[in-house]
Amino acid sequence: MMTDSDLPEGADPDRDESDRDESDAEGAAEGRQKPAKPKRPQKVFTLVVEVGRKPGDGLPDKSTGAALMCYASGVDEEEAVRETVAILKQADLAPLDVSGYGTLEDRMKAGDEIDGEERALMQRALDENSVIVAQMTPFFD
């Protein structure tokens, strides 16, 4: 019988001996590691997020909510939206709706004029793999 002290360093003592032999043999026979998934490039998406009121949200008194223009990085728009909503919730905001306006290239094709300041914020979102809130417009009744 083998004891824990007889095991090679880093071996799992709870793993069945037959499992160890099979998996070790398979790994050695293959002689290769799992192929790495190709890394998809990050893009920056322009999003407008409507938020409602929540205690401690920091919105102006008597406002009923706000619209936030954000630049968010992600491999696709869905990831950018998920990350943006998660960040805003951590900031005690209450996201209600998100509208996507695409990447810089999408917006340029649509005829949007994008100034240097806006481009710099987009680049910062990309460089930092982050969400940048570029503008907040409160809503009042």
Measured in Å, how far apart are the chain's first and last C-alpha atoms? 78
SS3 115: coil
The residue extents of the domains of the chain are 43-139
Low-confidence stretches of the chain (pLDDT beneath 70): 1-32
Q: Provide the residue type at 103 as one letter.
A: T
Distance CA 51, CA 88 (A): 9
For the four alpha carbons of 27, 29, 30 and 33, in that order, the dihedral sign comes to positive
Q: What is the pLDDT of residue 39?
A: 81
| pLDDT the model gives residue 34 | 74
What does the pLDDT read at residue 2? 46
CA–CA gap between residue 59 and residue 139 (Å, rounded): 10
Helix ranges (H only) for 10-115 are 17-30, 77-90, 104-109
Secondary structure class of 41 (helix, strand, coil): coil
